[in-house]
Amino acid sequence: MIDKRSISLGFGIVVTANLPTKYLCSRRLVTSITLCQLLSPLHIKAEEKKQEDEGDNGVIGAIQSLFDPNEKTKSGKTLPKAYLKAAREVVKTLRESLEEDSKEVAKFRRTADAAKESIREYLNGWRGQKSVSSEESYVALEKVIRSLANFYSKAGPFAAMSEEVKSNILNDLKIADDNL
């Protein structure tokens, strides 16, 4: 009885061999292959797998993406890498700050300072930029920043944030994150 076996060699190459079944069950693979070569013809066929997206695979694709100033988002839009990096940092640091326990003042201040710094960098680089101002992530982050500004301008810089305000801001952060 002949059994067809395939072995992947990597790089999209698959080797297929027709081998007698009784030799595949042997303990010593080397002996089995040697006997199979002597007793039956070994048919090897190399198959190359098709690449799904020629531009994004391989070394050339990696080099091109390294120098490309744009990046695809989760939703499939192409946006500047610098914007995506700055916006993701704002989302990350703000989320950490909002989820931090405000009773541990020192730890809360550290996370709040990191969030404040990331917001400052984001605004300095991307406020009013026409290339991203119509994006949902930009609109959501703008709404988050305005909500924070309104809350702290009314309640003061050291006020504890209510759960309602926190949940609204976290929802807007989720919208921004989903569009990055």
When comparing pLDDT for 160 and 150, which is higher? Answer: 150
Residue 59 in any domain: the answer is no
Measured distance CA(22)–CA(3) in Å, rounded: 9
For residue 42, give the DSSP letter: -
Phi/psi for 170 (5° steps) reads: -65, -35
CA torsion, points 122, 124, 126, 130, in degrees to nearest 10?
160
Count structural domains, the chain: 2
Please tell me the pTM assigned to this model.
0.63
pLDDT tens sequence across 3-52: 555 555 454 555 555 555 544 444 444 444 544 554 444 444 444 444 44
Q: What is the Cα–Cα distance from 165 to 147, expressed in whole angstroms?
A: 8
Does any domain span residue 55? no
112 located within any domain: yes
Compute how many other C-beta atoms are within 10 angstroms of the C-beta atom of residue 63.
10
Higher confidence at residue 42 or residue 101?
Answer: 101
83 and 148 together in one domain: yes
- Condensed to tens digits (0 to 9), the pLDDT of residues 107-157 reads 888 888 999 999 999 999 999 899 899 999 999 999 999 999 999 999 988
Asked whether residue 89 is domain-assigned, the answer is yes
Domain check: are 123 and 173 in the same one? yes
The answer to whether residue 146 sits within a structural domain is: yes
**Strand ranges, E, within 11-96:** 13-20, 45-48, 70-72, 78-80
How far apart (Å, rounded) are the C-alpha atoms in residues 40 and 8? 22
CB-based contacts of 2, cutoff 8 Å, min separation 6: 18, 19, 20, 21, 40
pLDDT band for position 57 (50/70/90)? low
Residue 116 carries which side chain, given as an amino acid letter? K
Shared domain check, 174 and 90 = yes
Residues 77 and 123 in one domain: yes
Same-domain check for residues 73 and 150: yes
Residues 31 and 119 in one domain: no
End-to-end, the C-alpha distance of the chain in Å comes to 56
User: Which band of pLDDT confidence, cut at 50, 70 and 90, is reported for residue 88?
Assistant: very high
Report if residue 43 sits inside a domain: yes
> Is residue 53 one of the residues assigned to a domain?
no
What does the pLDDT read at residue 23? 44
Q: What is the CATH number of the domain that holds 125?
A: 1.20.58.810
- State which residues form the domain around 84: 67-178
